[in-house]
Structure 1
Amino acid sequence: MDRKQILDSLKAEMIDTLQKVLRFETVTTDALPGMPFGKNNADCLAYVLKKGEEMGFKSYNCDNYAGHLDFAADDKNAEVFGVLGHLDVVPVTEGWIAPPFGGEIIDGKIYGRGAMDDKGPMIACLYAAKALKMSGFRPRRTLRLIFGCDEENNMACIKYYKTKVKMPDLAISPDGDFPVINVEKGIYAMELDVGKVSDAVLDISAGSRTNVVPDLCTALVDKSLDLKPLEKFNVEVKEADGRIQLLTRGKSTHGAMPHTGVNATWEMFRALSACLPDDKTLAFVAEKMCRDVNGKAWGFPLEDEVSGKITHSIGVVSLKNGNLKIKLDVRYPVTYKDSFVAEAMKKNSIDSFKIEEGHIKQPLHVDADSPLVKGLLEVYNKEMSCDAKPIAIGGGTYSRMLPMCVAFGPSFPGDTQVIHEINEYVSIDRLMQMAHIYLEAFAKMCG
């Protein structure tokens, strides 16, 4: 059998392995001794590394921050081609048609948090590597699959890994889109103090992660508040202990693509502002932050030819001592500086607006004419019988952790966006298709 036939013969085993990996609830939790991101993340890493050892790959566990599997070249001084992915996932909310950590198959789709981001793609890469090894392939470059355990937070996993292991000479991250992503916008995760709100608002809450668009927002308001303006809004009203609870609902999605979801906070802030028209803080949020995702209403519609428009997305909302706190996910064009973004934002905000804290990931731009990008495009276009070009995204992958790395899959053009959403899944057909693309990419880049 050739390598493609070998990979096809591994289909059932690959599906079974992915189902098992999806059953680890790898939402990062508080650290335990020797387990910096919690027991589930450490257990999942151990399982994957053991699976790789059984395939004949050499494993390395980097103190449960991350780990890797090597398909080693004969030359010990050979370059390393890396595949950087992650086993941790974002939290889940209610409404799934199958258990989010069950790995159930329904109508040819494997459901589970991480099915596309990023467990499914990494298992596809693992089995592509296994098929390549079984075919008798002798790599010119060492193929190294690197599994991180905290990508969804601040990538502490790979930051630590970099202090222990030399990073690959060139690499891909199967954590974006096909054909090839050679441009990633800068990421500015902001913690904002917007200002005081009316005493009539007793509480407001939404979201759990900055980089996830919330699908539910709740507020508690004083019973004396006139709620007649709510008739114009899609707000659920409930009474509880002499207070009024308001609920608004939306559609969750990745914070890098806020236009593909419906932010539940938008309707809430507009509704509250209508009930409290003299509240400057609520008016600012409703009119500036909840009208569009590209900074147009807010007054800083930044854009460039390389990466497109800025996006901003409210991820987490809370009320602390009467002050409105918002965690905001900003993806800014590659030709702008983070300091310019911050100044433009403050210039167009109310006086009470403060950026209390900010976590910045610098933009990525790998030349479209580089051998890495051209080689991967050649593989993709041959496998898909097309003539695709590299693209830019707002998402952030491990690619920006080293100079010569690009995101390569797993999402195909035109497919439904399911990453960070309820009912995340990977279709078995797409899983096999991406595995075949990775198989040929590994053969080209390591041959």
Structure 2
Amino acid sequence: MIVNKELIIDYLKSNQESIINDIRSLVEIPSIRDESTIDINQPFGIEIRKAFDKLIQIAKDKNFVVKDFDGYAIHIEYGEGEEVVGVLNHIDVVPVYTKELWLSNPFNVCEKDNHLYGRGVNDNKGPLVGILYALLFLRNLNIKPKRKIRLIVGGAEETTWECMEHYFSINEQPKFAFSPDGNFPIVNGEKGILYFNLRKKINEDKFRNHNLVEIKSNKEDGFVCDKIEAIFKTNDKKDLIKSLVYYTEIEEIEEEKILVRYIGERALSRNPHRSYNCAFNLAKDLDKIKGLNDKGIIIKDILNSYFTDDNHGKKLGLYTEDVNMGVSTLCIMSIFLEKDELNMKIDFRYPKGISLEFITNRINEVGKKENLIVDTYKDLKLLYVEPNSELINKLSNAYKRGFGKEVELFTKGAASYARVLENGVAFGPTIDGDIPNSHKANENISIDTLYKAIEVYIYALYNLAFQ
């Protein structure tokens, strides 16, 4: 094979400064979706448009062919041929939810302890630049590939995914593809994702000794509900406080009112088992209060009947387990009681073995029984690629060359662009032991991991496009 490790290592050493500078230039642009600045050729706002323009400049400076698809997506192309090898990345990033927890400026790459820190360095600007340099390496070999390679970059992966809908309404599906927006070795399974909202008007409320009047929580989708503030109006503060067990702290805010706080550990809603949901603690405390008002009883019963201490959807009748893809997960992301309306946002992720029709029918059954309004607002189909497929075999070969290890296939609850592909998977860059903090404070990527990923991507693209 003409592609050898020593050649790649020398190439990466000689381009180290350029690689980091290109990542830095993209991270400096806070490419967060902004509906207020939508315009022609910038359907996701000005900052995502700026990030696309910077990437186009970087690619053109390296003499690549670039095409812009109305600001929804671009592709960077190398080679010729009817068949396409696709690599799907995204230029948009999630907001900086907790800036006070960052140890450096999120939009200025900080290099420390052989890591790069900044919003998007791992998800997904670092891997994006890595793929660009993998293409540059292959082009420099002066060997004509059998298939053209397209680095496809979308602008709304963190939100609506309409970027890929627009792109593939114009362009053909690749014969082989992967998204460097996951983990090594190979993510051949991604669970189905359903976000839904449960709402209930509670107009009538009989006040008693202890009355739940308001609930507020964190608002961000994609995270376990890790902070709740519940306000009670009570005739006997001492008795109410004595009844509570699972709270974090209590504050007396008015003569007859107390504020009860529940604080947990932040975790992604796709991994609810890695934290403890504050809504569970609230439900358990409501269960201990004697003389609770009707509003409090209704909320307590809904929580305890369908959610409390259940991270897998058993109480809702949705639990599913698949030998290849693992088990379903269910997570309350937020809960609010404001102006006589209960509002809960739920994240449900599921493997093979259960249909979307069954899931929605079951949720609607519960909604009808409890007089809840059910709104579905995010729906991503599951992905599963058979282990013996040609794509998996070619990527497995690349992984083994790079890491010297046998491949293990696995499933994640996360969503990558691989879901929009007819024949694609998530493939790196994260390896065991990395803590990239994607979507969290202090997002980072190990420089060693990045360079190892580029090496593996060179092998993979050679296998997919040249052989």
| TM-score normalised over the length of structure 1 | 0.90
Residue in structure 2 matched with residue 81 of structure 1 by the alignment: 85
Distance 1:45 1:223, change over 3 A: farther
1:339 pairs, out of 352, 357, 361, with 357
Equivalent residues of 1:207, 1:216 under 8 A apart: yes
**Structure 1 residue 401: Cα displacement:** 0.9
Whether the 8 Å contact between 2:8 and 2:455 is mirrored in structure 1 is no
Residue 305 of structure 1 is aligned with which of 312, 318, 323? 323
Partner letter of residue 116 of structure 1?
N
**Pair 10,57 (structure 1): closer, same or farther in 2 beyond 3 Å:** same
Alignment correspondent of 1:96: 102
What is the rounded CA distance, in whole Å, between the counterparts of 2:107 and 2:115 in structure 1? 14
Partner of 2:23: 18
Tell me which moved more, 99-108 or 412-421. 412-421
Among 56, 65, 82, the alignment partner of 2:63 is 56
Cα deviation, 1:264-292, whole Å, max 9, x if unaligned, reads 44434444554448613233225632313
Higher alpha-carbon deviation: 35-44 or 272-281: 272-281
SS of corresponding position for 1:146: strand
1:235 to 248, 251, 261: 248
Distance in structure 1 (CA, Å) of the matches to 2:243 and 2:164: 47
Cα distance in structure 2, aligned partners of 1:343 and 1:418: 35
Question: Which amino acid in the other structure matches residue 17 of structure 2?
Answer: A
CA offsets 1:26-73 (integer angstroms, 9 cap, x no match): 221215212211111111111112101111111111121111111123
Q: Structure 1 residue 188 and structure 2 residue 194: aligned?
A: yes
Residues 196, 281 of structure 1: 8 Å contact kept: no
Q: Give secondary structure in 2 for the equivalent of 1:90.
A: coil
Q: Deviations over 1:266-325 (max 9, x none)?
A: 434444554448613233225632313112344432212231111112223333432211
Equivalences for residues 295-374 of structure 1 within 5 A: 295-347=313-365, 351-374=370-393
CA–CA distance in structure 1, aligned partners of residues 236 and 26 of structure 2 = 50
Contact 1:206 1:265 in 2 (8 A): no
> Residues 36-435 of structure 1: matches in 2 within 5 Å?
36-73=43-80, 77-94=81-98, 95-193=101-199, 196=202, 200-222=211-233, 226=237, 227-229=240-242, 231-240=244-253, 244-275=258-289, 276=292, 279-286=297-304, 288-347=306-365, 351-416=370-435, 418-435=437-454
Q: Which amino acid aligns with 2:119?
A: R
Aligned length: 444
The one-letter code of the counterpart of 1:47 is K
Partner Cα distance (2:225, 2:144) in 1: 47
Instruction: Check whether the contact 1:6–1:135 (CA below 8 A) recurs between aligned residues.
Output: no
Q: Which moved more, 1:354-363 or 1:143-152?
A: 354-363
* CA distance in 2 between partners of 1:230 and 1:158 (Å): 52
| TM-superposition CA deviations, 1:101-133 (whole Å, max 9, x none) | 222122222112222222222122122222222
More off after superposition, 214-223 vs 424-433:
214-223
SS of 1:331 mapped into structure 2: strand
- Secondary structure (helix, strand or coil) at the match of 2:48 reads helix
Which of the two has higher C-alpha Rg? 2
Kept after mapping to 2: 8 A contact 1:194/1:326: no
Instruction: For 1:130, give the aligned amino acid.
Output: L
State the Cα distance separating 1:17 from its structure 2 match: 1.6
User: In 2 relative to 1, CA 270–88 (structure 1 residues): closer, same or farther, beyond 3 Å?
Assistant: farther
TM-score calculated relative to the size of structure 2: 0.87
Give the C-alpha shift of residue 246 in structure 1: 3.6
Structure 2: any 5+ residue segments left out of the alignment? 1-5
The runs of 5 or more residues in structure 1 that have no matched partner are none
Report the secondary structure of 2:120's partner residue.
coil
Moved more, 292-301 or 108-117: 292-301
SS at match of 2:437: coil
How far did residue 10 of structure 1 move?
1.2
Name the CA shift for 1:354/1:274 in 2 (closer, same or farther; >3 Å): farther
- Aligned counterparts of 1:69 and 1:368: Cα–Cα separation in 2: 29
Bigger Cα displacement from structure 2, 234-243 vs 86-95: 234-243
Change (3 A) 1:96 1:67: same
Q: CA RMSD in A?
A: 2.6
CA contact (8 A) 2:190 2:383 kept: yes
Change (3 A) 1:264 1:129: farther
More deviation, 34-43/313-322: 313-322
Write out per-residue CA displacement over residues 133-167 of structure 1, whole angstroms, 9 at most, x where no aligned residue. Answer: 23334322111111111111221111112223333
SS, match of residue 123 in structure 2: coil
SS of residue paired to 1:279: helix
Cα 1:166–1:230 change in 2 (3 A) is farther
Paired residue type of 1:111:
Y
C-alpha contact 2:189 2:325 (8 A) present in aligned 1: yes
Q: Is the 8 A contact 2:436 2:444 kept in 1?
A: no
